[in-house]
Structure 1
Amino acid sequence: MQYKFFATESKIIDLITFPECLRFSEKKSRDLDIDYYNDYILEDTFEYYEALATKLKPFEKEINRFYFSNLSMPVMLTKLNSFFGYDSVDSYLNKLKSLTEDELLRSFLSKIYASITENDKILHAEDIYDDVTKYMNDKNKQIDLLEQLDANDEEKWKISSLLRQPKTMTNEWISLIETLIPLFENEYRLKESKIIEFGKFVEKKLNDSNGDALPTMTDNLLNKKLLPSGNILISFINSYALEINTSDKTPYLRWGIDVEDFLELIQNAKENELKDRVLLFKNLGDKTRYEVIKLIAQGATSAKEIATTLNVSQATISYHLNNLISSKLLILERDNSKYSHKINFDILESAYKSMIADFTPNQIK
């Protein structure tokens, strides 16, 4: 596989997800609920993104119309309208402006359908084209589809607005993005050289090693078998995230610009493995996460299936799965175009043996 860093595409996806920074404090408290991770994120980083949220505050009402849950406007649009292959932000936005009512509706319905049927992990969005066609001209079927979505009533109402007026809503969203471009450019200008430098570094490192450097670069969170393509994006919006996207027309790996520093701090701290064990047992001590692991052991393969069994939202289960992967209790594996979670029995056995050693009197020093 050939790996390639896409600078313009990195900028485009950062721009259209830029409004999500408004909810940084909320997102931080949700994603970083384990104190273990807070130790490795610099206070300057928290302050930077909280300052961004403050700058976006005047646009809060408009942003909340289009950014919510896991099906925000960019997610719905990029399902069938890839931002790859454009030479500028403006050229991509102009492409979106040129889309017809039906083209936009199909993209929205495709994302909703994929989310419900769990086909979001397939490599080619075109595979669900025929399935979505039956919803295109039937409002009742669209309502039925929307009712199956794992979202609250307010979110469903917002999504229904997109389905009723796809062209109008898209144009209004583009208008919001264009209003925010000057603010975004001010921030991006400060990060651009670092983004490009880091993107070229990742591209070279992966190509020189034929992808074998990926486990070392990601603290064993990723390996090359997990990647659906060699497309690499670098983000300053999700600066601590590693995102594998297989649901869009063009799959990619989106790599946060601060991930390397974040993982380096964690790796250095592993000289004291006690923190790792405490993190593992904290995860096992959470009843819902424990039940999630049990269900995976019993053969559950999807977040939707686990959510139904435990009577919680799919978003909640996805959140717990991400934490279980971060703590190495679960391993992400890929078979063709499907991803699955496997229990990491090696780390469980190692943690158990280390715990016994810790609690054995003659082992205490």
Structure 2
Amino acid sequence: MDEKTYLVDFLLSFELMDDVSEWDDGEKTLLDKVVDDDYRKLIESYTTEISSKKIFQKFVTKEYNLLSKFLFRQDEIGDFSSYIATLSQLDISEFKILIAETLGLPNESFEFRDLDQANLSAQSKWELFLVIDDFEDVLPRLIEELEKQYRYYCDIIEVIEASYGQKIQDLRNLINEEKTLYDTIFEDILTQELFDEHQEFLILYLSIHRVMINYKNNHKLLAIGLYVYDYYLEKKKQQAVDYEVMQNVLKVLADQTRYGIIKCIGRGITSNKEIAKLFSISPPGVTYQLKYLAENDIIYKDNLTKHYVINKELIRFSLANVLIDLDIE
């Protein structure tokens, strides 16, 4: 990576304080499936380190990242040293403009009361107020901690480059095969035309499944995490499976006889003869239909009663996906 890429990756890495929360719910996720355990441990150790420094949480939250925003406002910054040198010259008026631009607020004569217009949590507003109120003291402490953290970041990157060199090269090869990368990751995010016009394409070593697109004066910065291809490829596979399941359920429900049999089962009618009489088909025909419904997971046998019951979760999931697909609330 060049120095600018290291800097972008470093500044975005502070968002890991929230990004890795997907691993903390105790359930198997897509990230768990695609990410190497040793890499995960590296990220978690790094995240533990940055999370222990409360000053970083004043500048980076789920709602904003002032550290990266400051970089993207300064086209001339190309490495960490120049970033720190430029940041050290920041005064309170420029800092208020930075906040206003980050939050999409008017930056002329910006004051704390203007934060009321921002879509921010009360905690974020309070943190920004404290930084503004004590800016001259906070900025030197921020710079000191950034310098320490960057040294630790470089140590982590050295390990990643040594341990995952082949994976990094594979991802670079994918970047050269833009069609493959676009079809897997970007087609749901931006148009092919915009993708083709990108001016930079970065690999983010510490970001895992992050896709970042930064626009500034028609400059497009596309960045992808080290496991982003694996993550989106697995996600597309899962979506394809889910879509196939959804279509199959809808197909079954559209069949009048099968739908009627499902309704019977829902009402507790499990006798082949009784179902056959209701639908004017033979008992063997009912057996065939029950077998078909069971093979497609629409129904299953209850362990206690040994009678068929409806797979309500599957049907609920399929219908919910229809609503999502059609953007129906």
What does residue 254 of structure 1 align with? 223
Q: How far is the alpha carbon of 1:173 from its aligned partner?
A: 1.7
TM-score normalised according to structure 2 size: 0.62
Letter of the aligned partner of 2:9 in structure 1? Answer: D
Q: How far is the alpha carbon of 1:188 from its aligned partner?
A: 0.8
Pair 1:17-2:36 in alignment: no
* Paired residues for 1:275-294 under 5 Å: 275-276=242-243
Q: 1:19·1:67 contact (CA, 8 Å) conserved in 2?
A: yes
What does residue 230 of structure 1 align with? 199
Pair 1:105-2:74 in alignment: no
The counterpart of 1:72, out of the listed 65, 68, 71, is 65
Letter of the aligned partner of 2:248 in structure 1? Answer: S
Give unmatched runs, 5+ long, in structure 2: 259-288, 296-329
Size of the alignment, in residue pairs?
253
SS in 2 for 1:106: helix
Q: How far is the alpha carbon of 1:15 from its aligned partner?
A: 1.5
Q: How far is the alpha carbon of 1:147 from its aligned partner?
A: 1.1
* Distance in 1, Cα, partners of 2:72 & 2:140: 17
Structure whose alpha-carbon radius of gyration is higher: 2
Pair 1:190-2:159 in alignment: yes
* Distance in 2, Cα, partners of 1:255 & 1:175: 28
What does residue 153 of structure 1 align with? 122
What does residue 354 of structure 1 align with? 248
* Distance in 1, Cα, partners of 2:65 & 2:184: 30
Q: 1:218·1:260 contact (CA, 8 Å) conserved in 2?
A: yes
Q: In the superposition, relative to structure 1, how do residues 47 and 264 fare at CA in structure 2: closer, same or farther (>3 Å)?
A: same
What does residue 144 of structure 1 align with? 113
Q: In the superposition, relative to structure 1, how do residues 274 and 224 fare at CA in structure 2: closer, same or farther (>3 Å)?
A: closer
Q: In the superposition, relative to structure 1, how do residues 132 and 17 fare at CA in structure 2: closer, same or farther (>3 Å)?
A: same
Q: Which moved more, 1:192-201 or 1:143-152?
A: 192-201
* Distance in 1, Cα, partners of 2:66 & 2:215: 17
Q: How far is the alpha carbon of 1:103 from its aligned partner?
A: 3.0
Q: Which has the higher contact order (CA 8 A, sep 6+)?
A: 1
Q: How far is the alpha carbon of 1:56 from its aligned partner?
A: 3.9
Q: How far is the alpha carbon of 1:26 from its aligned partner?
A: 3.1
Pair 1:42-2:9 in alignment: no
The counterpart of 2:45, out of the listed 45, 51, 56, is 51
Q: 2:213·2:223 contact (CA, 8 Å) conserved in 1?
A: yes
Q: 2:60·2:66 contact (CA, 8 Å) conserved in 1?
A: yes
The counterpart of 2:148, out of the listed 179, 187, 190, is 179
Letter of the aligned partner of 2:107 in structure 1? Answer: V
Q: How far is the alpha carbon of 1:144 from its aligned partner?
A: 3.0
Give unmatched runs, 5+ long, in structure 1: 1-5, 117-130, 137-141, 207-211, 279-350
Letter of the aligned partner of 1:105 in structure 2? Answer: K
Q: In the superposition, relative to structure 1, how do residues 199 and 89 fare at CA in structure 2: closer, same or farther (>3 Å)?
A: farther
Letter of the aligned partner of 1:11 in structure 2? Answer: Y
Q: How far is the alpha carbon of 1:229 from its aligned partner?
A: 3.2
Cα offsets for 1:64-116 (capped at 9, x unmatched) = 3333232233144235234x651x3212222222344433332222222x1x5
Q: 1:219·1:263 contact (CA, 8 Å) conserved in 2?
A: no
The counterpart of 1:132, out of the listed 107, 121, 141, is 107
* Distance in 1, Cα, partners of 2:215 & 2:114: 22
What does residue 7 of structure 1 align with? 2
Cα offsets for 1:301-353 (capped at 9, x unmatched) = xxxxxxxxxxxxxxxxxxxxxxxxxxxxxxxxxxxxxxxxxxxxxxxxxx4x4
Cα RMSD of the aligned pairs, angstroms, is 3.6
* Distance in 2, Cα, partners of 1:76 & 1:166: 17
What does residue 183 of structure 2 align with? 216
Q: 1:241·1:256 contact (CA, 8 Å) conserved in 2?
A: yes
Letter of the aligned partner of 2:85 in structure 1? Answer: N
Letter of the aligned partner of 1:66 in structure 2? Answer: F
* Distance in 2, Cα, partners of 1:111 & 1:249: 17
Q: How far is the alpha carbon of 1:238 from its aligned partner?
A: 1.8
Letter of the aligned partner of 2:123 in structure 1? Answer: E
SS in 1 for 2:213: strand
Q: How far is the alpha carbon of 1:250 from its aligned partner?
A: 4.8
Q: In the superposition, relative to structure 1, how do residues 229 and 189 fare at CA in structure 2: closer, same or farther (>3 Å)?
A: same
Q: 1:36·1:275 contact (CA, 8 Å) conserved in 2?
A: no
Q: How far is the alpha carbon of 1:155 from its aligned partner?
A: 1.2
Q: 1:41·1:262 contact (CA, 8 Å) conserved in 2?
A: yes
Q: How far is the alpha carbon of 1:180 from its aligned partner?
A: 1.2
